Structure formats: C-alpha cells, structure tokens
Amino acid sequence: MTEHVFEPMRRAMVASQLRTTGVNDPRVVEAMGEVPREDFVPPERLALAYADAMVPLVPGRALNPPMALGRLLTEARLRGHERALVIGAATGYAAAVLARLVGAVVALEEDEDLFAFARKALGGSGVELVRGPLARGFAKGAPYDFILIDGAVEQVPPAIVAQATEGGTIALALLDRGVSRLALGRVVAGEYGATIFADAETAPLLGFEKPRGFSF
C-alpha cells in the first residue's frame, strides 16, 4: 500500500470517526489528520490502520481506536506548552500525535518488541522514548503537566499521580467490569479524581489492577 492509498483513508477517519464523535479541537483534528497512522501499524495489519477498532500488536496489547485518543486529547484542552508523559506508548502513535500539541513528550513502554518498533517509527518526532514498567511511570522526567495513560486501567497508581504537577491533568480509560470508559481529571494536593465522559473500546494495560478482596 502507498501514501496515495492511505491519504483518503486518513481523511475518512477524520470525517467519520473524529468529527462525528465530539473530537472538535481543531489542533487535535489537524494533528491526527497529519500523522501517518500506517507508520505505527505492523505490516501485516496495515489494512486496519484507519479502522474504527483496536489493532492487535503483540499478545495482550493493541493500538487503540482513533476516536478514543481524539476524545481524550480534546477533553484535555492542551495549550501547547505542556510537558507530557505517555504511559503505554506501544508503537508510538499517540506520542507522535501528542508531540504536535505540546512542548515536550516522554513516551514510556515496557514491551521489548513494541519499544523497538516505536523507536523506529518515532524517529525525528522529538519524542523521548524510554523503557520501563508502565505502572511506575517515569519519575526521572517528572513533573508532567499532562499524563496520558493510553489504555484501560482499573486505577492510577500513587507513583504516577506523584509525577504530575499540581493541577496537572491525567487522561485515561477506566476499566469497570470489563467496560472501558474515557475519563479525565486533575491532580490537586497530591490526590487524583477522574470524571468519566464517554464509553470507548480501549485495550487493557496490565499492572494497574485494583487489589482484590478476600472471598470464599
């Protein structure tokens, strides 16, 4: 497939998946309309690059649907100066889009194969790609004005909350009984509370589960 094939697919994604679902921040729409999503999809999955669905990557991981990313970035109301952290960089697509919207981006990935893919795909983007456990965040680069957890989690670990600036924003999908819901919240006095604003299919991230109580 060539750019001539993907260009109309990208325009169709913007028109049918973003503009019709509340992705109305012109900067977000422009960024997602410019970043070649096909560069962040494995060759065997290219036909799904602009599908309104998750794209399988490695076992247990997937590239989330465009709408989910678009809604999270729209609701974040980014100004352009922020220092941002992407947790669960996967192949680097979300980080590449975010790099067009903020001042600096650190992207964290723990899977070796995904990290290698992202390092190649993000070449020249200005994104700082780092490797480590997702649930620990990347304290070395903190504090962050904006943290994007690019996947569905049951909770935000205190270690990640502590890496946000006072008043900083954390965007994510909260997983509740198998259903993922897009949410956004701010860190105030070291505490984080999220407000859910939409349901959206997103891939779960391991390591963010709530402790399970004892039961017979």
pLDDT tens, position by position, 111-157: 999 999 999 999 999 999 999 999 999 999 999 999 999 999 999 99
The pTM assigned to this predicted structure is 0.95
Confidence label for 2 from pLDDT (cuts 50, 70 and 90) = low
Percent of the chain with pLDDT over 90: 92
Region of poorest pLDDT, from 135-139, 159-163, 197-201, 207-211:
207-211
User: Starting from the edge strand earliest in sequence, which strands make up the sheet with 128-131, in order?
Assistant: 128-131, 104-109, 83-87, 144-153, 164-176, 179-188, 191-199
Chain-centre distance for alpha carbon 196 = 16
DSSP β-ladder status, 104-109 and 83-87: parallel
Mean pLDDT on 176-201? 94
Mean pLDDT on 189-199? 95
HEC letters along 106-120: EEEECCHHHHHHHHH
Whole-number pLDDT of residue 3? 62
Percent of the chain with pLDDT over 70: 96
Kindly report the average pLDDT of the chain as a whole number: 94
Q: What is the dihedral of CA 203, 43, 92, 157, to 10 degrees?
A: 30
pLDDT tens, position by position, 15-47: 999 999 999 999 999 999 999 999 999 999 999
CATH code of 3-199, in short, is: 3.40.50.150
97 close to 72: Cβ distance less than 8 angstroms: no
